[in-house]
Structure 1
Amino acid sequence: MEHKRAMLCWITRKSNKNTVDQQLEEQMGKTRQYYFEVLKRVAAVIKFLSERGLAFRGHEEKWGSPKNGNFMGAIELIAEFDPFLHEHLEKCKNEKVNAVYLSKPVYEELIGIMGKHVQEEIVNQINNLDIKYYFIIVDSTPDLTHVDQLVIVVRYCYNGKTCERFLPIENHSSMTLFNKIQQVLGEHKLSLENIRGQSYDNHLT
């Protein structure tokens, strides 16, 4: 009798689309959408700061501080006019959400993902040119921590316009420079045979 009653209850809830599984799935869907909206705003701030070469961090990571840097400051500015982000920020301050998505590790990971996507777009653009020839410029400069940062600049013609795009290299020395260049171009499936000019430290070859 109890089994029949439970079965009847389950059938009724299912017909009303009110089972526990459906409720959990609906709740998970709302949670996914919530954090999608958070990440959409975070990504917009990352893109804005990155395009302008602005620093993300300030002297302290504290909400409401004028020294908390461009990233946190931009988030706070948007929150003044965006009720959704304002509410999320208040939850973060009061520690009422488990996943904040506004921390340094998160935006650094997003920068890496966005950077990889940009590189893929650059490579696709070069590989789909009518004329596949390109020019490389290799140079380096020390960053603020005095660590030498090396980049490859790929110059090519796209729709009648000259384009210059960066491809980063990590950990290099003069003895491994060529191998690094070869490795990076190989990783991006850019053929060495299509190079029609090279420049190293402003010396053309």
Structure 2
Amino acid sequence: MDKFVIKNSSKQATMDKFLKRKLIVSQDLSPIRETYGSDLIEHSSKKSHIDLETLPTDLGLRKKILEYHPNDQYEIRRAYLLKGPCQPRSHKFPQRDVGGVLRRFNPKWFKEFGNWLEYSIKKDAAFCLCCYLFKLDIGKQAGGDTFVTGGFTSWNKKERLAVHVGDCNSAHNQAWKKCEDLMKQKQHIQEVFRKQSDQAKIDYQTRLNASIDYVRFLLHQGFAFRGHDESENSSNRGNFLEILQFLVDHNESINKVILQKGPKNMKFVTPEIQKDIANCAACETTNAIIEEIGNQFFAILVDESRDVSTKEQMAVVFRYVDKRGIITERFLGLMHVVDTTALSLKAAIESLFSKHGLSLSRICVQGYDGASNIQGEFNGLKSLIMKENGEAFYVHCFAHQLQLTLVAVAKNHIDIASLFNLVSNVLNVVGASCKRPDMLRETQAAKVAESLSNDEIQSGQGMNQEIGLKRARDTRWRSHYGTLLNLISLFASVINALEVVEEDGSHSG
């Protein structure tokens, strides 16, 4: 995976794309609806159209709170609680005949029952503010609607005020508790809803960030994700889950929201989500490559090969000059092709270009191997592309050319063929047992130490590193050069190892 994936700038884009494509945070509001009512939940998205400043203060002029629209009741209740009960203490309360005696409202009652008692000048009656706002519909308990609509006027029965308050579970005290809860910000319905929503989002992003970080790490290092046995009793659950468990053991904030302590329906650690995040990372990497290319021309390098599942895969690589003027090669992806005919390969390339908004007209060079379906003069892939873009010149892949040249020379030139045959025999003899490579390393280490003590070689960072013999491979032309280079560096030690082998052979005979 290209290092574009590891850039921090792409992390947020990867996460945003993943959220949009696959996972949406869903909040279960049923407990809140049961506690506070669905009308208050729905209210959070709508604004009141009632002018709260013009609400009548006198209860004699008010209409029942339940007569207002459900979306407005919350704001109206809160507005009345902020204003407080209507208590015209300086008003000249009129007298009335009660039981043959002239009586009137006693303003001293405001002091005794001041947190809820109201007086209506228009109706010359007493009311209860909290019951007006939150009265339960439970019949005539505690006077029914007396303290809400009709008003209390029995001035000679002050004890009725205490009776209205009742015990701790009375309708009045339940209404008063709702008033207190409404005015306490931490218990406010919007605050509860916001906290639940914010915390759920934080936990969600923590889990998602953890999964994205592990996927990016494994992609960057080229490690496998899955394990043979990913059950909880397994001793090795695979790289992804083992790294996740390691971080959980050392990070308390992640430990609270993932694995055993996470939601039972959490899917961030499932193979499906791992693949989705990896696909998102691949998309972001590809988009970064396409963006870096911009509108300039580029060369296309294509080769096909059969994988272990016997599927024919076509690899596509772009070569271009980046914004810094440096020639850059980027692997764009693998594409499965049904067959290796020129038409199938061209159709696959066109499909890839169409997906990323590219055009064959921007190809300036084609680089392939020498197969007939690729470089065919009339029906090869390079000819089909040149029919649409005459400037997309074909250049035989230099690596393939050099490999073919080296193999041909090695097979037909007696001296070169003998050299590589001799080198192969030396590698076979030295690597025939585990003891001989160990002996070779010890001998070479002793020679390096002796040379350093005699100032024959210099020391420094990256110098005098331990090396070994490498085998040449027919499909990798550079491997022949590396084989000869290492053999030259270890030549004296190899001679010593061969002498020991010869001596052991003579003694055994």
Q: Compute the TM-score of the two structures, normalised by the length of structure 1.
A: 0.82
SS in 2 for 1:146: coil
**Which residue is 1:78 aligned to?**
247
Residue by residue over 1:72-127, the C-alpha shift from the partner in whole angstroms, topping out at 9 and shown as x without a partner, is 121122223222233423325xxx53214111111111111121111111111101
**Which residue is 1:98 aligned to?**
265
- The alpha carbon displacement at 1:166 in A equals 2.2
RMSD: 2.7
Aligned pairs for 1:143-158 within 5 A: 143-158=307-322
Say if 1:66 and 1:73, in contact at 8 Å, map to a contact too.
Answer: no
Q: How many residues align?
A: 199
Q: Does 1:197 align with 2:365?
A: yes
Q: Does 1:137 align with 2:301?
A: yes
Among 328, 336, 339, which residue is 1:171 paired with? 336
SS in 2 for 1:163: strand
Q: Between the two proteins, what is the percent identity of the paired residues? A: 23
Q: Would the alpha carbon gap of residues 64 and 11 (structure 1) be closer, same or farther in structure 2, given more than 3 Å must change?
A: same
Say if 1:10 and 1:19, in contact at 8 Å, map to a contact too.
Answer: no
- Partners in 1 of 2:219 and 2:264 — Cα distance? 27
- The alpha carbon displacement at 1:165 in A equals 1.6
- Partners in 1 of 2:308 and 2:253 — Cα distance? 37
Q: Does 1:122 align with 2:289?
A: yes
**Which residue is 2:227 aligned to?**
58
Say if 1:63 and 1:72, in contact at 8 Å, map to a contact too.
Answer: no
> Which structure's CA Rg is the greater one?
2
**Which residue is 1:112 aligned to?**
279
SS in 1 for 2:320: strand
Say if 2:267 and 2:273, in contact at 8 Å, map to a contact too.
Answer: no
Q: Would the alpha carbon gap of residues 199 and 61 (structure 1) be closer, same or farther in structure 2, given more than 3 Å must change?
A: same
Q: Does 1:26 align with 2:195?
A: yes
Say if 1:126 and 1:156, in contact at 8 Å, map to a contact too.
Answer: yes
- Partners in 2 of 1:201 and 1:14 — Cα distance? 78
Greater RCO, 1 or 2 (C-alpha within 8 Å, sep 6+): 1
One-letter code aligned to 2:248: A
Q: Compute the TM-score of the two structures, normalised by the length of structure 2.
A: 0.36
Residue by residue over 1:131-173, the C-alpha shift from the partner in whole angstroms, topping out at 9 and shown as x without a partner, is x121111123334433232221111121132222222354323
Say if 2:298 and 2:318, in contact at 8 Å, map to a contact too.
Answer: yes
The structure that is strand-richer by fraction is: 1
Q: Which runs of 5+ in 1 are unaligned?
A: none
**Which residue is 1:48 aligned to?**
217
SS in 2 for 1:80: helix
One-letter code aligned to 1:71: F
SS in 2 for 1:149: strand
Q: Which runs of 5+ in 2 are unaligned?
A: 1-127, 136-174, 376-393, 396-509
- Partners in 1 of 2:259 and 2:368 — Cα distance? 48
